[in-house]
Chain A
Amino acid sequence: MSSITAYAEAMLRVAEAEGDAEAVVDEMFRFGEALEASDELTLILGNATLDAGRRQQIVEDLLGGKARPTTIGLVSMAVAAGKARELPEIVAKLVQLGASTNDRRVALVRSAVPLSDDQLSRLSEALRQAVGGRVEIKATVDPSVVGGVVTTIGDTVIDGTVRSRLAQLREAF
């Protein structure tokens, strides 16, 4: 078992023990996305020369009042253990484990603008029919897709973004 999986399983057990696993996993997912999008934040939290307490303080300052104490504790623990750079991978595994616990598959959905609850519901249903099983959507806003939506379920990518169409156009030239 890799350390990524070990950390993900440990975090899931803690979240389940606290009784709000789904919400914690969702918040962890959000934080993982933010960390992946910010090289500066990754550098600061992954800076081994910076005191662990100082790094934990930065986490608490960032998430305090915006996330559950369990989520803050898990992120703080990973940062103190020097796993900030691997946190996006740990979170991805955590989301996957959380979904499989509920017999669901994780669908990472990226769109240029936020999807409404109704759109998320209909997309979830469409994806359920497409993949033949229950789907847990993790939606994020990504302006780089320009327009449209791209969904990743395991190794399957369903790309309907303007960015990919422009890329196809570029390839055609």
Chain B
Amino acid sequence: MVHLLAAEAPNEFFFPGDINEFYWGLAAFSIVFGVLAWKVFPIAGKGLRDKADRIEAELAAADEARNAADAEAQALLAKLGDADADAAAVISEARSTAAKLEADAADKARADAEALKARVAAEIEIARGQATADLRSEMSKQALAVAEAVVGANLDDATQAGLIEQYISRVGVSS
């Protein structure tokens, strides 16, 4: 820089050959710098502060949002934990209900089977009794038919006469 400024100068020194130029330049620079310091620097500083404040606010908001998100995440995790517990409870209850239903169904099936068995046994007993009665009746019919034929064939005149005499005596006695 110094070498550049020196190169500008015709006397090859640091300051220009005309010292007034230096003073005018210094004055102009001071005026410009003063104007800048008076008008521009406060505005720029305020802008920078506002921006810093905004960024800080945004950071705070972001932090708050992150905290809220974390809290929500925690809540969700807690809810997930509750849901798991609920699911476990529901599954447990379902298993209990299923076991009870299974037991009830087994009891009912057992009772139905017992009732069916008893009914079938009773029906068999009735059928057996009926068959026995039918057989007995049929046998008695056959036996009586045979007896009737045998009696009819063996009733000779003497027997017939005996039956008639017996009848007459019975009628006479009944009077």
Residues of A at under 8 Å CB distance from B?
111-113, 115, 119, 122-123, 125-127, 129-130, 146-149, 151, 158, 160, 162, 166, 169-170, 173
Contact = CB atoms under 8 A, between A and B. Distances in A.
A20 to B, nearest CB: 30
Interface residues of B, number: 26
B32 to A, nearest CB: 152
Contacts of A126: 168-169, 171-172, 175
A147 B141 contact: no
Contacts of B152: 146-147, 162
A160 B169 CA distance: 11
B167 interface: yes
B159 interface: yes
A160 B167 contact: yes
B12 interface: no
Contacts of A123: 167-168, 171
Interface of B: 136-137, 140-141, 144, 147-148, 151-152, 155, 157, 159-161, 163-172, 174-175
Contact of B140 (A111, A127, A148, A170): A170
Q: Give 5 closest A-B pairs by Cβ, nearest first.
A: A129-B175, A173-B140, A126-B172, A160-B167, A126-B171
A158 B169 CA distance: 12
DSSP class of B's interface residues: helix, strand, loop or mixed?
A: helix
Contacts of A119: 164-165, 168
Given A123-B171, A170-B140, A162 B163 contact: yes
A166 B171 contact: no
Contacts of B159: 147
A127 B172 CA distance: 7
Contact of A173 (B136, B163, B168, B170): B136
A168 to B, nearest CB: 11
Given A147-B160, A147-B163, A148-B163, A112 B155 contact: yes
Contacts of A166: 144, 147-148, 151
A170 B157 contact: no
B174 A146 contact: no
A86 B167 CA distance: 32
Contacts of B147: 166, 169
